Amino acid sequence: MNISLPETLKAFVDEQVVGRGYGTSSEYVRELIRRDRDRQALRMMLLDGAASAPGAPVDQGYFDQLRDRIAAAR
């Protein structure tokens, strides 16, 4: 896959590669794509959660029980 960029964007990518420690511009673009994929997945989970039925309240008791279950599993 080849991507053509105008000079201003190419210069920006080159600055990011050097300034953020990427080995190549391809590594930088791959990272951007992964982040976008993760962002979209998170967005879908949030929308699914918002559309779901309400669950039990999450209060101090919930976290106390969770800590107790974790301690018992150890």
Domain ranges within the chain, ordered by starting residue: 7-73
Q: In sequence order, which ranges of 21-59 are alpha helices (DSSP H)?
A: 25-51
As a whole number of angstroms, the distance between CA 50 and CA 35 comes to: 22
25 closest CA partner among 47, 53, 50, 5: 5
pLDDT by residue for the chain (74 residues), tens only, comes to: 899 999 999 999 999 999 999 999 999 999 999 999 999 999 999 999 999 999 888 999 999 999 999 999 99
| Global pTM exceeds 0.85 | no
